[in-house]
Chain A
Amino acid sequence: MSLTKDRLVSPILFAIACFSITALFAIGLFIFVEGVPIMMKVGVWEFIGSTDWSPLEGKFGILPMIAGSVAVAAGTLVVAVPFGVGCAIYLSEFASKRTVTIIKPAIELLFAIPSVVYGFVGVLFIVPFVREHLGGAGHGFCILTASFVLGIRVLPVIVGISVDALQAVPKVYRDGSLALGATKWQTTTMVTLRAARSGILAGVILGMANVIGETMAVIMVIGNAVVMPNSPLDSVRTLTSNIALEMGYAEGDHRQALFATGVVLFIITMILNTLTRYVTRSRVGKKK
């Protein structure tokens, strides 16, 4: 193979590699082009701050949806973080090798299950359970249900990254602590966890980004009422379900408003993703 051909390879591969960022740019561009005009027309503060979403009357306030997405993310945090970090600690520090080979793939499999199946199971079991035992304005279709369902779905993300973070803590930290007479549990809480803190945080943020982007499971269990949430038993609508619900019927201003909702979503997830990288980078920095 001639050397000239070999030299050609590098720029070709570079072009291929740039595809991702080109695609990202194109996606952002399209969504913005479709969505920003309506935000300008209605007024950015009015769009984000108004609670009145009546598209057929030209009112496009998405504050309830933003509140809904935040509420679901917060609820899922409460469910998934203790659960997820706990599992990660167990897998990394206390489990035997054999247990890990069974449990870790099982947890990863939870992420492979399609979200429609989660929604299905949620509607079949969790919605009636919440309705009968906890009541509430949502009659079972509420933030609590969604948090529960999404908590399980997003668990593998948190567990995966947290386990990596815990494993990355140098062995000497643990050995030093044990040498000083601490128990394994004390070592874990006082030394290892603290050292892995930023990695675990990155995992949590990534998990939250996943939750905010989740659509199908949410639509089926959350009731989709356009209200500001007062309690975890209220039904709300998230940014994602707003788009999915009304896209089929929307035209003109209404459709553009849905794209504008997409813009808000896009920005939020970009911020969260950048935050994740920032948090991991500072951890690497600290190590050195």
Chain B
Amino acid sequence: MRRLNPQKAELIAKGVLLLFAGTAVVALVAIVGYVVVKGVWVINLEFLFGRPRSMGREGGILPFIVSSIYLTAISLLVSIPLGLGSAIYLTEYTTEGWATKAIRFGVDCLAGVPSIVLGLFGFMFFVRLLNFGWSILSGSLTVSLMILPFIIRSSEEAIRAVPQSYREVAFATGGTKWQSVTRVVLPCALPGIMTGIVLAIGKCVGETASVIFTAGTSLRVPGSIFDSGRTLAIHFYLLVRETGASDMAYGSAATLLISILIVNFFAYWLMRRFIARVS
């Protein structure tokens, strides 16, 4: 076999790999860029604050923005205490035993449940069994199951990153375990935890499969959490289904993507602050 000069091989390899990485970035820019560019000029005050007319073919997307915000807020309200509590337990209050292994297994598997299966569960359990009907409540409870493992994992990592010496100082000054957690560890880990929460917001906003069977497809602004509401992501899906690549579809997608981008950049900024703090 003719051997390629190792220096040359390395050069070729580097080039190819750079190409791969570059392609990934190009793909991102292309997808996001195309949708945003085609849709951003649809966005104006009337679009953002108006109501849909004529089956969503005209008008605005206010009800969907409200529904999305509502759904995300309730999901967070449910999963943050549960997630943070679990993370605190796993890091501060226990040693690695069979109980923690079981809990971690539960968390990992929950993370792996496909969103459509969660949607099925949500439909049977929240919509039918608990009789919440198609509502923001059913939808957000289902979505909270989806983001819970994520919040647990990222909070755990953030808490673990807090140097041990911080905790020791708390004990040395006479604090209880709980005080050391709430007054020292958590405040220090907060940006890291917030990053996880902010990223979870991004996921909530984009969720479709688990929401479509639980929160319903109503075109109205939901008056309360027992009302049905269509989130922006679902509205986009239904628009594409019914109207193809229409202006409204692009506009909704652009709004969706821009919000997600903002949320993600905020998360990165928080993460940088957190890393700066603990190192």
Binding site for B on A (CB under 8 A): 1, 3, 5-6, 9-10, 12-14, 16-27, 30-31, 34, 82-83, 86-87, 89-91, 94-95, 102-103, 105-110, 112-121, 123-124, 152, 155, 159, 182-186, 209, 212-216, 220, 240, 243-244, 247, 258-259, 262, 265-266, 269-270, 272-274, 277
Contact = CB atoms under 8 A, between A and B. Distances in A.
Given A26-B121, A86-B21, A103-B25, 13 more contacts: A21-B107, A24-B106, A24-B109, A27-B113, A30-B124, A108-B264, A114-B206, A115-B206, A120-B249, A121-B31, A185-B13, A215-B208, A265-B114
A113 B24 contact: no
Interface residues of B, number: 83
Interface string B170-209: 0000001111000000000000000000010011011111
B45 interface: no
Smallest CB-CB A-B distances: 10 pairs = A21-B106, A213-B114, A114-B206, A16-B85, A185-B10, A13-B89, A90-B17, A86-B20, A273-B112, A17-B86
Interface string B2-14: 0000110110011
Contact of B21 (A103, A110, A247): A103
Q: A interface, by DSSP: helix, strand, loop or mixed?
A: helix
Contacts of B116: 213, 215, 240, 243-244, 262, 265
B133 interface: no
Nearest to A95: B21
Interface string B98-109: 010011011111
Contacts of B162: none
B41 interface: no
A244 B210 CA distance: 10
A183 B177 CA distance: 52
Nearest to B100: A17
Contacts of A152: 24, 27, 31
B24 A83 contact: yes
Contacts of B134: none
27 contacts: A10-B89, A12-B85, A17-B85, A17-B90, A20-B110, A20-B149, A21-B103, A27-B121, A34-B124, A83-B23, A86-B17, A86-B21, A110-B27, A112-B203, A114-B233, A118-B31, A119-B237, A121-B31, A152-B24, A183-B6, A213-B116, A215-B209, A240-B116, A247-B123, A262-B117, A262-B120, A265-B116
